[in-house]
């Protein structure tokens, strides 16, 4: 029967462990100096060697003829461990044995002495899956076990383990393995197995593994099964569901160029071909990160995976601001895609949002180019001419400033009045919401609001829908609903358009609520005040005319929406 490569090449001694040099050195010295702890905690990402090191440690400390830090593989203990016949090394999967009964059974057996070894070693994998009761049952045994018992706990999520358990263990944090070391190990396996593979394909596997050697070897095994002849870079992309560099570049360029039709067709094509859209999004983030680095630091910090010419092309079309926004939006979408039934819809919505916001960044790019040209031109003018030119420009600037001062003052007065009225609306509506907050109602409304995602492809509604989906419903009570946004600017735009929001929610989601928005920082203050019970919330009647408050700023509202969400919106 064929044995998977990651099992075949699992390390058998400390010297074979890859990428965990510090941990290996500590454990070697502990064995040589006979300074073993009664409990260890191995934490870190998947595929970095936690369980392998636990097994090596268990075998090493039980060897009767230890040769330095290496087991002899000849004594009774080593022989039984190699043949998987020992009863002295007990591996427990906490994911399926996580109850208090299993831990009580373990406690009843810890006093039994080893049959053929020096120590009984309990390796509890994914220990964070134990229940609270199970942890409590394990607590005393873990603190003072019999002299012949050693516990090795392994987990990928140490933050879920109670502090009372953590403080009783000697903790080792396994780190992600570097691409270089993964590549070296893969080359060693390829040479032993006599596998024909391109170096670029091996490098790509090392990168895609994201620090997990087991994942890298598993990908190699899959590609080996897929390819009949020499393994190529394209084979790796086909098996892993990712895109070749040229196609990834074409997709991102289409987004930056605001070509909606081409972008959506490409996503359809990749979905039909069975590409992994979650991994595709991760690749887009990595690509944008490399472009950002290319724009700001020297070449040596860039990922060698991406071609310099491709990075330069995208770099010239974007700004730092756009790339930050691009990466943040992709990151948020990535989290949604992992929990959503249809990753394709999430990716399509994200792409449309990015394209609608793209004109802001295009203007920034143009400004940067104009500034660069102006600087070059100024450098060519003689110092004397340059001085005269600057004086004239300053005079024009002063005249212009005087002309606009009065207009600015008038606008400030209007702005203050407008803000004052909207703040009154905001204060009353948030107060009324908090008089009868209902988590059940909030959950129901959230479910209904998610239905408007289908409207984002409709040019008539896409801007207002994008604005709603950018916020998060945080409180519902009576017939009120409060949205929270990351910045005051976004909440302000929402509040200037609450009549449109209410109409959209009523028509398409059957939600008849009066809405209001605030920003994240204000919401934290409001929430803290609410929880402290220092303020009494009583219903306040709405005596204002919302249409009159918002009607004077109708044109400005449209401009604000257009600025944030693009020019595809149609107004009546």
Task: Determine the Cα–Cα distance for residues 554 and 344; give it in Å rounded to an integer.
Answer: 36
* Assigned architecture for domain 5-173: 3-Layer(aba) Sandwich (3.40)
Task: Determine the Cα–Cα distance for residues 120 and 202; give it in Å rounded to an integer.
Answer: 40
HEC assignment per residue over 89-122: EEEEECCCCCCHHHHHHHHHHCCCCCCCCCCEEE
Nearest to residue 348, comparing CAs of 409, 281, 296? Answer: 281
Tokens of 331: 């990151």
Nearest to residue 351, comparing CAs of 366, 337, 338? Answer: 337
Q: What is the mean pLDDT of residues 473-483?
A: 89
Average pLDDT, the chain: 80
Task: Determine the Cα–Cα distance for residues 296 and 505; give it in Å rounded to an integer.
Answer: 44
Rg (CA), the chain: 32
Which residues make beta-bridge pairs with 133? none
Nearest to residue 11, comparing CAs of 46, 63, 62, 48? Answer: 48
DSSP single-letter state for residue 344: H
Task: Determine the Cα–Cα distance for residues 489 and 560; give it in Å rounded to an integer.
Answer: 10
Domain 179-240, what fold? Helicase, Ruva Protein; domain 3 (1.10.8)
Q: Where are the domains of the chain?
A: 5-173, 179-240, 245-279+288-367, 409-565
503: left (phi over 0), alpha (psi -120 to 50) or beta: alpha
Tokens of 25: 């050195």
HEC assignment per residue over 214-257: HHHHHHHHHHHHHCCCCECHHHHHHHHCCCCHHHHHHHHHHHHC
Q: For 245-279+288-367, CATH number?
A: 1.20.272.10
**Mean pLDDT lowest among 94-103, 197-206, 214-223, 353-362:** 353-362
**Mean pLDDT lowest among 22-26, 267-271, 564-568:** 564-568
Q: What is the pLDDT of residues 47-67, one digit of tens each?
A: 899 999 999 999 999 998 888
DSSP single-letter state for residue 437: B
Q: What is the pLDDT of residues 298-320, one digit of tens each?
A: 655 555 566 777 777 887 878 88
Please report the sign of the dihedral spanned by the C-alpha atoms of residue 486, residue 489, residue 491, residue 493: negative
What pLDDT was estimated at residue 367?
53
Give the CA dihedral 388, 394, 396, 397, nearest 10 degrees.
Answer: 160
Q: What is the pLDDT of residues 217-255, one digit of tens each?
A: 999 989 988 887 888 888 888 888 888 888 888 888 888
**Mean pLDDT lowest among 73-87, 161-175, 445-459, 542-556:** 542-556
The answer on pLDDT for 40 being more than 90 is yes
What pLDDT was estimated at residue 569?
40
The answer on pLDDT for 190 being more than 70 is yes
Helix 132-143 crosses helix 100-109 at what angle (to 10 degrees)? 20
Q: What is the pLDDT of residues 114-125, one digit of tens each?
A: 888 889 999 989
CB atoms within 10 A of CB 368: 13
What pLDDT was estimated at residue 495?
85
Count the helices and strands in the chain (H runs, E runs): 25, 8
- CA 273-274-276 angle, to 5 degrees, is 130
How far does the chain reach from its first CA to its final CA, in angstroms? 70
Could you tell me whether strands 472-477 and 480-485 are parallel, antiparallel, or unpaired per DSSP bridges?
Answer: antiparallel
What pLDDT was estimated at residue 412?
47
For the chain, what percent of residues have pLDDT higher than 90?
12
């Amino acid at each position: 029967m064929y044995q998977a490569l990651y099992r075949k090449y699992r390390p058998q001694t400390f010297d074979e462990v890859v990428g965990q040099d510090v941990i290996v050195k500590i454990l070697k010295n502990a064995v040589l100096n006979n300074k073993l702890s009664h409990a260890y905690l191995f934490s870190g990402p998947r595929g970095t060697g936690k369980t392998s090191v636990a097994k090596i440690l268990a075998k090493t400390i039980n060897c009767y003829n230890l040769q330095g830090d290496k087991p002899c593989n000849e004594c009774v203990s080593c022989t039984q461990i190699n043949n998987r016949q020992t009863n002295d090394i007990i591996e427990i999967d906490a994911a399926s044995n996580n109850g208090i009964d299993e831990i009580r059974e373990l406690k009843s057996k810890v006093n039994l002495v080893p049959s053929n070894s020096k120590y009984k070693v309990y390796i509890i994998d994914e220990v964070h899956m134990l229940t609270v009761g199970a942890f409590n049952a394990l607590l005393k045994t873990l603190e003072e076990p019999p002299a012949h018992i050693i516990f090795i706990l392994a987990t990928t999520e140490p933050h879920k383990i109670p502090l009372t358990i953590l403080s009783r263990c000697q903790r080792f944090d396994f780190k992600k393995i570097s691409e270089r070391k993964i590549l070296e190990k893969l080359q060693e396996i390829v040479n032993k197995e006599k596998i024909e593979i391109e170096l670029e394909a091996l490098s790509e596997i090392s990168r895609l593994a994201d620090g997990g050697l087991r994942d890298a070897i598993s990908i190699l095994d899959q590609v080996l099964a897929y390819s009949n002849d020499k393994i190529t870079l394209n084979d790796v992309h086909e098996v892993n569901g990712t895109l070749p560099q040229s196609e990834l570049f074409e997709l991102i360029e289409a987004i930056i160029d605001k070509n909606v039709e081409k972008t959506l067709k490409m996503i359809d094509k990749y979905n039909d071909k069975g590409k992994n859209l979650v991994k595709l999004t991760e690749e887009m983030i990595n690509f944008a990160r490399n472009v950002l680095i290319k724009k700001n630091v020297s070449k040596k910090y860039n990922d060698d995976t991406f071609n310099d010419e491709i990075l330069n092309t995208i770099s010239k079309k974007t700004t730092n601001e756009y790339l930050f926004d691009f990466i943040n939006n992709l990151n948020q979408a990535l989290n949604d895609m992992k929990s959503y039934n249809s990753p394709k819809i999430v990716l399509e919505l994200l792409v449309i949002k990015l394209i609608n916001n793209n004109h802001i960044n295009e203007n920034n790019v143009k400004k940067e180019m104009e500034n660069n040209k102006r600087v070059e031109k100024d450098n060519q003018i003689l110092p004397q001419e340059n001085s005269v030119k600057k004086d004239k420009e300053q005079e024009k600037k002063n005249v212009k400033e005087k002309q606009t001062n009065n207009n600015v003052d008038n606008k400030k007065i209007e702005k203050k009045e407008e803000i004052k009225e909207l703040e009154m609306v905001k204060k009353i509506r948030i107060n009324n919401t908090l008089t009868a907050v209902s988590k059940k109602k909030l959950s129901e409304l959230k479910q209904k609001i998610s239905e408007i995602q289908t409207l984002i492809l409709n040019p008539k509604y896409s801007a207002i829908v994008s604005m709603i989906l950018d916020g998060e419903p945080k409180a519902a009570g009576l017939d009120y609903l409060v949205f929270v946004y990351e910045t005051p600017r976004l909440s302000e735009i929402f509040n200037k358009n609450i009549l449109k929001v209410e109409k959209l929610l009523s028509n398409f989601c059957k939600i008849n609520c009066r809405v209001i928005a605030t920003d994240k920082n204000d919401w934290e203050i409001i929430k803290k005040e609410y929880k402290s019970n220092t303020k009494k919330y009583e219903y306040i009647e709405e005596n204002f005319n919302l249409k009159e408050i918002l009607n004077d700023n109708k044109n400005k509202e449209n401009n604000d929406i257009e600025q944030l969400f693009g020019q595809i919106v149609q107004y009546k």
